Amino acid sequence: MIDKTLASAAAALADVRDGATVMIGGFGTAGLPHELIDALIDTGARDLVVVNNNAGNGDTGLARLLALKRVRKMICSFPRQADSHHFDALYRAGQIELELVPQGNLAERIRAAGAGIGGFFTPTGYGTTLAKGKETRLIDGRGFVLESPIHGDFALIRAEKGDRWGNLTYRMTARNFGPVMAMAAKVTVATVHEVVELGALDPESVVTPGLFVQRLVRVDRVATTAGGFKQAA
Amino acid sequence: MNAPNPSTLAGVTRWTRDQIARRVAQDIPDGAVVNLGIGLPTAVANHLGADKEVVLHSENGVIGMGPAPASGDEDYDLINAGKQPVTLLPGGCFFHHADSFAMMRGGHLDICVLGAFQVSAAGDLANWHTGAPDAIPAVGGAMDLAIGAKKTLVMMDYLTKGGEAKLVPACTYPLTGLACVSRLYSDLAVIDLAGGHATVVDLAPGLSLDTLQSLTPGITLQAA
């Protein structure tokens, strides 16, 4: 019998090792898997490479993981926020590496890893400093940049409902990076607010098929509160 | 509009942000799928009018966005790219990030409206980074939007706070995208950019083309 449900976030992350690449879903606070980030902090794992759209807000969650100096490198599109002071301080002190990736390239590089694509040419970033050092090609007269997939050892995502096979639904814009990150990691851990009987999810509404998910943890629903930032440009 | 009034602009009535937003909205056709960038462009939504059905896209994974919810009805699982709570109109739906950016890169988005630090006569856009040594670089979806939408419109103050034109022969700030801006809306003028030429479509009340030209070194402004 297949049963991917685990009793706790701690049990789901017990095998995270130093140096792991950990993808964390969420855009602002929508879809951010708070319980899993806290459990990641509790593992004590260091030297992590973290993939998330942003670089932490305030003093909790990802910001706390950063403040504890457990992250060697951030791969993200928008680290600068009104309340990203922990990342800002580490970055200015040269204590963290930043790979800045345009948001759509970030999503597509993650998707490419999940889809077994070895690289792809994208027009995004062509002619800019973010394409520096990368192979470029003119295709039908338009400039493209070769981008590589981003693989994860773990993906930590927040979904809405799931079943013991790992099938997932999401809630509104909390879906964001969840489906692509689930595809791209060796071990995908999803929190859901409800674990339902097999067959209870409408098969037409399953967004992430269970084969992309290895572990499922039920967490209480807590209303997502305001967070994140007002983007500058 | 914070730019100081150079003496050359005495007698000129600059367009307000709201007036610029209304001008952009006038150019958005019924049925268009549109992404409004964070900052100035967000105000365009207030002027689209009930006679038009315009579908608003936000890169975090929603299309068919409605106005901000009433106070107390905010749901922070339903936000726009600026992390502000929004609503969903009938017909709207959600999708993941890779699909959301495929909508841009794949040429399915009709118009995006972005802010700018600088725009060049060739339509190059700089809007994500000043290049200052202590600045934390952050790009978000700007590069994908700028080159992905079928048409990229820019809204900005024409002059910097120091009185220099932000329409420049070549951008000195780090680029967002090459040759992507087709029209520029500002407090002083509306300017079309095509084939390296800058064509003035509209001038603020009291402003002459000669005066605008004198504020815009290195570029030959053409009359429409």
ipTM entry: 0.94
Report whether pLDDT(A163) > 90.
yes
Is the CB of residue A34 less than 8 Å from the CB of residue A61?
yes
| Phi, psi (rounded to 5 degrees) for B43 | -65, -15
| Phi, psi (rounded to 5 degrees) for A90 | -65, -40
| Res A233: pLDDT | 31
For residue B50, the tally of other CB atoms under 10 A from its CB is 5
Q: Rounded to an integer, what distance in angstroms lies between the CA atom of residue B175 and that of residue B101? A: 19
CATH hierarchy code of domain A5-118+149-218: 3.40.1080.10
Instruction: Search chain A and give the residue with CA nearest B37.
Output: A233
| Res B86: pLDDT | 95
**B1 occurs within a structural domain:** no
Return the SS3 of B148: helix
| Res B39: pLDDT | 85
Quick one: tokens of A70? Answer: 């457990």
Report whether pLDDT(A29) > 90.
no
- The answer to whether A52 contacts chain B (CB < 8 Å) is no
| Res A227: pLDDT | 63
Q: Rounded to an integer, what distance in angstroms lies between the CA atom of residue B122 and that of residue A110? A: 33
Candidates A81, A84, A120, A128, partner chain B, best to mutate (most B CBs within 10 A)? A128
Q: Rounded to an integer, what distance in angstroms lies between the CA atom of residue B87 and that of residue B62? A: 10
Q: What is the residue range of B97's domain? A: 7-223
- The answer to whether B74 contacts chain A (CB < 8 Å) is yes
Q: Which amino acid is at A154?
A: F
Q: Rounded to an integer, what distance in angstroms lies between the CA atom of residue B26 and that of residue B38? A: 19
Residues A142-153: what's their mean pLDDT? Answer: 98
Gap from B189 CA to chain A (nearest CA, Å): 21
Strands B87-94 and B62-66: antiparallel
In chain B, the number of structural domains is 1
- Using CB atoms within 10 Å of the CB of residue A143, give its burial: 0 to 12 exposed, 13 to 18 middle, 19+ buried: middle
Q: Which of residues 19-38 of B touch A (CB under 8 A)?
A: 37-38
| Res B190: pLDDT | 98
- The answer to whether B107 contacts chain A (CB < 8 Å) is no
Q: Rounded to an integer, what distance in angstroms lies between the CA atom of residue A61 and that of residue A39? A: 10
Report whether pLDDT(A224) > 80.
no
The one-digit pLDDT tens for each residue of chain B (224 residues) are 444 456 789 999 999 999 999 999 999 999 999 999 988 899 999 999 889 999 999 999 999 999 999 999 999 999 999 889 999 999 999 999 999 999 999 999 999 999 999 999 999 999 999 888 888 999 999 999 999 999 999 999 999 999 999 999 999 999 999 999 999 999 999 999 999 999 999 999 999 999 999 999 999 999 98
- Using CB atoms within 10 Å of the CB of residue B134, give its burial: 0 to 12 exposed, 13 to 18 middle, 19+ buried: exposed
**B188 occurs within a structural domain:** yes
| Res B130: pLDDT | 87
CATH number of the domain encompassing residue B75: 3.40.1080.10
| Res B132: pLDDT | 87
Domain ranges for chain A, please list them: 5-118+149-218
| Res A228: pLDDT | 54
CB distance A173–B77 less than 8 Å? yes
CB distance A80–B138 less than 8 Å? yes
Strands A136-139 and A142-147: antiparallel
Split at pLDDT 50, 70, 90, the class of A82 is: confident
**Mean pLDDT of the residues in chain A:** 95
Active site residues of B: 59
Q: In chain B, what residues touch A179 (CB-CB under 8 Å)?
A: 96, 98
Q: How many residues in total does chain B contain? A: 224
Count Cβ neighbours within 10 Å for each residue of B10-40 and write b for 16 or more, e otherwise. eebebbeeeebbbbbbebbeeebbbbbbbbb
Gap from B199 CA to chain A (nearest CA, Å): 25
Taking Cα atoms as reference points, which of B184, B195, B178 lies closest to residue B125? B178
Report whether pLDDT(A230) > 50.
no
CA dihedral A223, A226, A228, A230 (to 10 degrees): 150
Which H, E and C letters describe A27-53, residue by residue?
Answer: ECCECCCHHHHHHHHHHCCCCEEEECC
Q: How many pairs of residues across A and B have Cβ atoms under 8 Å apart?
A: 177
**Residue in this structure with the two tokens 């409800």, named with its chain if needed:** A194
